[in-house]
Structure 1
Amino acid sequence: MKQSRSSLLIAALVAALLATALVFSAPMSSGQAEQQELFVLPTVPPTPTVPPAPLARADVGAPQSGLTLAMASFDETNALDAWRIVDLEDVPQERRSLWIVVDGRLRQDRTVPPLRDPSIHETAALIGDASWSDYTISAGFYDQDNANVGLIVRYQDGSYYRYRIIRNGYEDRPQHLIERVSDGTVTLLASLDAPGYEPRRWNTIMFRVNGDRLQAFFNGQMTIETRDAQLASGAAGLYTRAIGGMLFDNVTITQP
């Protein structure tokens, strides 16, 4: 009797093993295949690492530079303490632009918490005061996800000069502009219809003001030169839009 029961148990075990093998070896139905595909994660390329920024020379096209008014490489987390953040257009408090120091660079990082939304309004990081008159500002910039970059000179009470470059790939023409902004009114002083800048690579930008002479440089080459005597002195600064993704590094401001 015991032998008969043992034979029955062995037969049942063998049958169960055969049934399991048939289930795993059988082809999957289309529904089962689709369900399995849901668990296949897509291959996502890694985010490109931002390389070190080049030095932006402030003595390009000029005699040996004199007094250094300011230098910033943003290696310290408190490096932004010497700068003043200004929204160049009227925006509500919850849409104010946010600038931060991260990984040794100054980054325009969209708008303040809790919204943190990108915004197309213009913003600037300023340094210096109303006594600054004749000087050159230079910087390296790296555009991760923006479209406008520039430098500001002689900022005072909302009026200033700026050199602005538009990223390649946009239909806006021209792509290099020197403008005077006076109490919100923008006046185009000079422009160059040449290629703008390439994103996701370091470029250098420089803007020099001496008396009524304004000179703009991009990657070491002069792009625009013009004259205007309306604004005499003021702070210097970095310009972009509050879209986010614009990095600045190696800022230098010198007197002739």
Structure 2
Amino acid sequence: MTVLFYPCFVFLVVLIISFCALKALGSFSHYIAWREFQAAQGWLGGPSVLRFWFNGLWLLTLLIGFCVSWIWTGKLSFGILSILLVPLVFRYFVRYQEHRWRRSIETSSLSFFNALLGLIQSGRGLSSALFDLAQSQSTPFGKKLKKHLHNYEEGRGLILILSQFRNKMGLPTLENYLSTIEMAYSQGLEIAPLLEKMIPTLEMEQHYKIKTEELRHQMAIQAILAFVMPWFLGGVLFLFNRELFQSVTNKGGTQMIGAMALMIEGVGIWVLWQITKFS
């Protein structure tokens, strides 16, 4: 049994480290994409000195993680492992930032479309209504549209501007609605009846997204608590009854079984997080 156990354990460790390495390499592409996004949105589009310091901070974080892990454990392999884990943390930080940005765009689009419907019902044309709202509303959706409407002043058509804005958004739900508005405007159809039908549907979709995200986060909290509880109890046992703790952990195979349980729990939480992606 032991002869089969060790090769299986080594294979599992190599598999997980390889997975972390691939994710870490993928995180660099997320880093580049995040830099491009910030350059278009805010402070990273400013002086090159800011970009230099940001890149330096990124490399310094990798170096500190490598040195601390190496010195603390006394093993070079743990330092190399930290280089893989730091980009992973950054990867999920970037995804969280992107998710917040997308949600802010989607949420602010609802108030924008409601205001657009009011202006069109009062007799304003689509182009002038979009222009006024983009100038007056400081919401994320309005700010993004305002940047694209500058091209309208340079003589570009409204349909082309809406098409470019829709493609730059990268949000499938809003892309469908904006595409429908483009088609109605290009064919000379009335926009107000279309918005009256579109807004309740958008409200319902956003409501369901919020509910599913709340359920997902509750599930994640429960999974993390289930993951932490055995190790917390082990720590309590170590503090209050160290002899019993050492007698249990010093038995043959206990440490290896604990390491395998830790990895399996981690993989289980990751799988649970992936399969509960509703949107």
Q: Is the TM value for this pair above 0.5?
A: no
Q: Normalised by the size of structure 2, how large is the TM-score? A: 0.20
Give the structure, 1 or 2, with the largest relative contact order (CA under 8 Å, sep 6 or more). 1
Structure 1 length-normalised TM: 0.21
Query: Which of the pair is proportionally richer in strand?
Result: 1
Q: Which structure has the bigger radius of gyration?
A: 1
More helix by share: 2
